[in-house]
Amino acid sequence: MCLCLGRSLAKNSRKSASKMNKKLDDIDRGGLTSILIWVNENKEELLPGLWAISDSRISNGHSQASSLADGLTENYPKLSTMHAMAYSPSEVPRLNLRHVLSFGFAFAGSTLIGSTVREILSALLSDLEEINYYDAPELSFDQKVPSLKEVAELTGRIASNYVVSLGVHRPNSARIEVAIFGHCTRSNALRAFMLRNHQDAPAAVRTEELLVREREFFVLGDRISAVESAISAKRTLFKSDSLDWDRAPISTSRNFPR
């Protein structure tokens, strides 16, 4: 699955070069969850901006996914677009829904945690309302819109609470990585945030901003070094200003389990 500024993109089919086979074979063995985020501002792109792609496999933590649920395990959306919506506080009845912001959401690790955090976050953002207080400053609508960092921090609080509740019964399954990314209206910039916990402190979900313009791409999930090497090797086959170079994460990802 691939997103670009909240829109889905079709993937072009293209055969991999033979020199890539060894690196891709290293990725193919065993289960894999990978989320890739990168800036693609090629002048020939119809939708330039922040792009992301992920696999769609749910595994049982071993090298093979459960054969009893192949339809689910091979086609689960770990990458999606989310929207924040609001009504005017003075409007009764509420008829005119107003779009506040859209952003990308992706997760790796526990499917139960990732999907639950996504649903709770969606519910909270679907009915935002301005808080009125007596000395509120006069601000434009854009100035009142939550920043992407604030959305990421809210996501982290939701994830922390759910990790604690799940970890009581299944401590080994309470691992999660979440990416929140897109165009931040408040700062008028492309931004991305990664939320993750660690095995030594699973209850603490930490938030880190990914400096999207300081690296060619970011990888979340398993076998990060193998995925990075495969994409870098793929890009050596193309000119740096070509569409194929900018779309190398997509063409490389076809060799990941889906």
Domain CATH for 110 = 3.60.20
For the whole model, what pTM was predicted?
0.80
195 within a domain of the structure (yes/no): yes
Residue-wise pLDDT for 38-77, tens only, equals 999 888 888 888 999 988 888 765 444 444 444 456 788 8
Asked if residue 110 lies in contact with residue 176, where contact means CB atoms within 8 angstroms, the answer is yes
Please report whether residue 155 resides in a domain: yes
CA gap 129, 85 in Å, rounded:
9
Going by C-alpha positions, the residue among 221, 197, 219, 195 that lies closest to residue 209 is 195
Backbone angles phi, psi at 142, to 5 degrees: -60, -35
Q: Which residue has the higher pLDDT, 37 or 7?
A: 37
Is residue 3 in a domain?
no
Domains: count for the chain: 1
| Residues spanned by the domain of 209 | 15-129+138-253
Q: Looking at residues 111-118, what average pLDDT do you find?
A: 92
Q: Do the domain assignments include residue 171?
A: yes
Eight-state DSSP code of residue 231: H
- 105 pLDDT band, cuts 50/70/90, is very high
Q: Mean pLDDT over residues 101-113, rounded? A: 91
pLDDT per residue as tens digits for the range 211-236: 988 888 899 887 788 888 999 999 99
Q: Is residue 10 part of a domain?
A: no
Residue 8 resides in a domain? no
Class of residue 44 by CB neighbours under 10 A (exposed 0-12, middle 13-18, buried 19+)? exposed
Domain assignment present for 29: yes
Q: Would you say residue 198 lies in a domain?
A: yes
- Is residue 241 over pLDDT 60? yes
